[in-house]
Amino acid sequence: MMTQREIFLKHIAQTSDAPIGLEIVKAKGIYQYDTKGKPYIDLISGFGVANIGHSHPKIIEAVQKQAEAYMHLIVYGEFIETPQVAYAKLLTDNLPPALNCVYFTNSGAEATEGAMKLSKRVTGRSKIFCFNKSYHGSTQGALSLMGDEYWRNAFRPLLPEVYHFDHGSSEILAAIDNATACVILETVQAESGVIQPEKEWLYAIRTKCKEHGALMILDEIQSGFGRTGTLWAFQQFGIVPDILLLGKALGGGMPLGAFVADKNLMGSLTNNPVLGHITTFGGHPVSCAAGKAALEVLLDSNYITEVKEKEQILLQHIRHSSIVNIKSCGLWASLEFDSFNTNKKVIDRCIAKGLITDWFLFAPQCLRIAPPLIITKEELIKACELINKAIDEAL
């Protein structure tokens, strides 16, 4: 008889030739548990999804209640579905006035696709500017924006008139013109190892976009929902985008993405052609119910206000001579080593010691830290100590 791992390798399409391969049977709070009952601290929140931890009782209650009422009814946008309406209202109540209309999707990548279409439809233009070492998803359109040729090259041809610039460079400011549909960037670059832009540079892009009628799209699929110390990362930079991309933590553990804009902009998708953007399962009622419950927990707690203090705890307790550099933005950090080989050894030892972590797509020499915001100070110190021990054992 085949083992579960053998079935996994044979029948589940693989994304790499070396999957982590843990078999998890339960997850609660900051922990995941394998078949032998061994606990693992989830130091990456299921890649940014489990912002308030796993299996939160209020999310479970919301999911069960909505599943009992109804799940799928009809293609998105035709019926008035209470979970969608209620969640859109809660989101927009906690966003600037110009971000007042939500288009729910299945994922962050689909939110990227919708935002690209919206920018072309609104402006009547086709030039899209994006950045090296950026990540917005892996679909064909989002892949065209991918900030690294290694990841793009095998799937060419991709979208035309997509132009990449170095993050933080002045060249982008000179390039934005009356033929530009949009500039899309992460408020904080995620897969390059948690890179914050200069406030003045981000403001200058915002200003140039306004001058030329181009739309500014900010991707907060990883940086949103309190990860950086404010509900939205852009609040720390004194700007408001024309379109905001959300995903990961948006669904509270269920699959959900969204792009958010002004109603006047979003209305352009309703005509010439009608159904300018359409999805069957986007904004699934159960996902919206889960996401709303998760955001309510976040808003009713002190988790966001504690982020900066926890960031300092993390920086104070991770100490090792082999760490080349540490970058952080709230409860989100990258530990840089001298090579991917070194980093991989450390990651493997972390997992063996009950600590789930990984590397960054564009910074494979860096170890990822982004625990659920609910992690206590004591648990965070414990995680830091495990990392220090893992480094010792790996090297």
Sorted by where each begins, the domain ranges of the chain are 4-55+303-394, 57-299
User: What confidence score (pLDDT) does residue 8 get?
Assistant: 87
Contact (Cβ atoms closer than 8 angstroms) between residue 382 and residue 371: no
Q: What mean pLDDT, rounded, does the chain reach?
A: 96
- The backbone torsions φ and ψ at residue 145, rounded to the nearest 5 degrees and listed phi first, read -85, -15
Is residue 132 very low, low, confident or very high in pLDDT (cuts 50, 70, 90)? very high
Which distant-in-sequence residues (6+ apart) come within 8 Å of 33 by Cβ?
Answer: 24, 25, 26, 27, 39, 40
pLDDT bucket at 379, cuts 50 / 70 / 90: very high
**In the structure, what pLDDT confidence band is assigned to residue 139 with cuts at 50, 70 and 90?**
very high
Q: Whose CA is closest to 83, among 98, 94, 69?
A: 69
> In whole angstroms, what is the distance from residue 84 CA to residue 103 CA?
10
Is the distance from CB of 256 to CB of 289 less than 8 angstroms?
Answer: no
Distance, CA of 20 to CA of 352 (rounded, Å): 11
* pLDDT at 118 (0 to 100): 98
186-205 residue pLDDT tens: 999 999 999 999 999 999 99
- The dotted CATH code for 57-299 is 3.40.640.10
* Angle of helix 57-69 versus helix 285-299 axis, rounded to 10: 150
For residue 365, give the nearest of 153, 191, 216, 242 by alpha carbon: 191
Mean pLDDT, rounded, for 321-344: 97
Q: pLDDT per residue over 44-84, tens digit each?
A: 999 999 999 999 999 999 999 999 999 999 989 999 999 99
User: What does the pLDDT read at residue 60?
Assistant: 98
- The pLDDT of residue 130 is above 90: yes
Pairing between β-strand 243-246 and β-strand 333-336 as defined by DSSP bridges: unpaired
Mean pLDDT of 8-23: 85
Task: Assess contact for 382 and 317: CB atoms under 8 A.
Answer: no
Band (pLDDT 50/70/90 cuts) for residue 274 is very high
Statement: residue 20 has pLDDT above 90 = no
Residues 88-116: tens digit of each pLDDT: 999 999 999 999 999 999 999 999 999 99
The C-alpha atoms of residue 336 and residue 195 are separated, in whole angstroms, by 13
Q: Work out the pLDDT band at 303, boundaries 50, 70, 90.
A: very high
Query: Before 157, cis peptide (omega within 30)?
Result: yes
Residue 214 has pLDDT above 90, yes or no: yes
Output the pLDDT for position 12: 84
The answer to whether 4-55+303-394 and 57-299 have equal CATH topology is no
Do residues 247 and 135 lie in contact, with contact meaning Cβ atoms separated by under 8 Å? no
Over 90: is that where the pLDDT of 338 sits?
yes
CATH T-level topology, domain 4-55+303-394? Aspartate Aminotransferase, domain 1 (3.90.1150)
Write the CB contacts of 387 (distance below 8 Å, at least 6 apart in sequence): 318, 335, 346, 350, 355, 357, 367
CA dihedral 283, 287, 7, 47 (to 10 degrees): 100
